[in-house]
Structures are given as C-alpha cells and as structure tokens.
C-alpha cells in the first residue's frame, strides 16, 4: 500500500511539473508575440510599415514566437536531455572510427539573433561501448537549437560526449554559414563558411587517426 501511494505521489508530482512547464512555455510564447507586435509598431512609426492591413503579416508575431519556442530555442539547457540520448549504448569490440556526418543543424547567433546553418562531422573510437546511430545526430541537432556561439557549440558538445561515453577519442568539425555575415554587415557570399574543430583523446595525440577521419568525410 505504501509503495502504491509513493508511485501515485510521484506520478502527480511529474504531472504538476509538466503542467507548470507548459504554462511557462505558453506565457513565454505570448511575451515574444507581444514583443514582435511592438517591433512592427516601431517599424510602422519609423517607415510607415502597413502591417495591420497587409494580410501577409496576419499572425506573423505568433508564428515567430512559435518557431522560437518550439524549434529554434529548444536546445537551451538541454545537456540533461542530450545525456539521456547518449546513454542509449550497447557493448562492442569494434575499435575503429565511427563517423557521423554531415549532420545539418541550426542555431541562432547570440550577437544578432540571426540564423546559423551548420554541417557537422563527428567521429569517435569506442571504448567497449557504442551509442545508437541516430543518437549523435539527434543530440547534436537538439544541442545546437539555441542561441550559442559556434565555438562554444563545438567545444561544449564534444566535452559532453566525452563525459557520457568515455571513448578512446573523439573529433568534431563544424562548418557554419552565418546569417549575421551573409544577410547584414559584411554580406559574404553563400559559399563562405566559418570552420571550427576540436579533438580529444587519440584524435589529439595520433595525427594518422585524425587524417583518416578527414579522408573518410572528404574534409
């Protein structure tokens, strides 16, 4: 009877937490929507933007808010969710490189809140266990869905992976197309990429293993 009561209490606490999170997310979406209404009102004041009478702007603040809350920012504080994804491992005697990529991912530049489009290559050498094949792209896509610098995305993800799996070594290469450079300011061309990388373990100490990864991925 006591165990049953404890299970019921745990169930209701979880429900309360989910309900509270839902309310917070809904409140945040409404705040963002109201903020974008003010932005359009400011553009109306500055340039005469007729957004209220243009049907193309109908529900635009809502759509922007929804995208930020349900897609572009879901990776904020997502380390624990990524750990759960990367905990789905299985034993293996394989001791070669496991490579994933290119993985398409999207972030927001925290400086200008412009979109950053990534192609990410990730590899590791297992140390007795390997993670499910889909879990690396899933965790990378989730981890990157936040306002985060490319440099921090690169280093923070590989550090998280190392802690979760404790592999013999790992490597990450991130190629980013930054909207803050292509759509404003310097206005670079579409082929312009910012490239960051990080290596751990044997990828750091053995150049031939690192070169093998580059060769596999044609980098």
Residue pLDDT, tens place only, 23-82: 899 999 999 999 999 999 999 999 999 999 999 999 999 999 999 999 999 999 999 999
Number of Cβ within a 10 Å radius of residue 183: 12
Residue 185: C-alpha distances to residues 3, 15, 43, 106, 177 (Å): 62, 47, 20, 20, 14
The span from the CA of 117 to the CA of 102, in Å, is: 12
Helices 150-165, 135-144: axis angle to 10 degrees equals: 140
Q: What digits encode the pLDDT tens for the residues 182-192? A: 999 999 998 89
What does pTM read for this prediction? 0.88
Residue 193 — very low, low, confident or very high, per pLDDT cuts 50/70/90? Answer: very high
- Please provide the CATH number assigned to the domain covering 79-216: 3.30.1130.10
Domain boundaries, the chain: 2-72, 79-216
């Amino acid at each position: 009877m006591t165990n049953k009561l404890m299970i019921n209490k745990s169930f209701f606490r979880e429900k309360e937490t989910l309900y509270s999170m839902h309310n917070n997310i809904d409140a945040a979406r409404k705040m963002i929507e109201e903020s974008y209404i003010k932005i359009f009102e400011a553009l109306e004041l500055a340039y005469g933007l007729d957004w209220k009478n243009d049907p193309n702007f109908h529900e635009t603040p809502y759509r922007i808010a929804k995208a930020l809350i349900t897609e572009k920012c879901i990776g904020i504080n997502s380390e624990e969710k990524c750990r759960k994804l990367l905990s789905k491992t299985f034993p293996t005697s394989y001791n070669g490189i496991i490579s994933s990529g290119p993985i398409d991912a999207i972030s927001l530049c925290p400086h200008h809140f412009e979109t950053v489009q990534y192609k990410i290559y990730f590899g590791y050498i297992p140390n007795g266990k390997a993670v499910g094949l889909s879990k690396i792209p899933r965790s990378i896509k989730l981890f990157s869905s936040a306002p985060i610098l490319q440099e921090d995305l690169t280093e923070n993800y590989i550090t998280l992976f190392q802690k979760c799996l404790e592999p013999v070594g790992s490597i990450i290469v991130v190629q980013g197309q930054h909207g803050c450079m292509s759509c404003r300011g310097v206005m670079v061309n579409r082929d312009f990429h910012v490239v960051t990388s990080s290596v751990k373990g044997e990828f750091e100490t053995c150049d031939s293993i690192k070169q093998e990864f580059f060769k596999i991925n044609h980098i």
